[in-house]
Structure 1
């Protein structure tokens, strides 16, 4: 159980970096050339990988590859929605709730045998 908790923690932190790497430049570097945004994103993504790779290696000891992937997607959505609403100032949409329920369904189906 400790390995699952550590995996979730590391994947959550990694997703914060990933989300900033992929999307923050749309707000923060909007007037800059794309290659400046790419370089900034790569710099941020380094920290994502420094957390994500150990998370997957730890998680793979107690979960299947499919379970790791679906867990990653659930965490991604739970990080992305607050980022979109609070950092990017996007309006909250009910579609986020429906997407979240679909992802929860995926979590249920991939983990139901364990």
Structure 2
């Protein structure tokens, strides 16, 4: 597998864990807050086990700003799918426009100096 792809795939996997850690508990509002905090920390541990190596190996290929940009675009993509498939929420035109502007920002990060 190409070295430039490994960090991206690890960041995708880490974002799935982190999205569940941050938002998965929203379906369990009857559970005690301390319990969902502890479970979220346990889930987030696995996110860190993927994100830290992704950033370490990716930094030799991408700049820190590029890595953060990749991570943010992945986060939005994972979150959009999660909110529809897991939480049953709708994506609105306002969400699409907002995400589009963030992707436009990512374009400028990777485009290089003008």
TM-score with structure 1 setting the length = 0.93
Over the residues paired in the alignment, what is the CA RMSD in angstroms?
1.5
Offset of 1:100 from its aligned partner? 2.0
Tell me how many residue pairs correspond in the alignment.
113
The unaligned stretches of length 5 or more in structure 1 are none
1:103, distance to aligned residue in structure 2 (A): 1.7
Q: Deviations over 1:63-106 (max 9, x none)?
A: 11111111110000000001001100012211221122112111
Structure 1 residue runs of 4+, over 3 Å off?
Answer: none
Q: Which runs of 5+ in 2 are unaligned?
A: none
TM-score scaled by structure 2? 0.93
Residues 3-55 of structure 1 deviation map (CA, whole Å, 9 limit, x = unaligned):
2211110000000000000000011x210111100001011001100100000
- 1:9 pairs with 2:18: no
* More helix by percentage: 1
Distance 1:76 1:49 in 2: 14
Corresponding residue for 1:45? 44
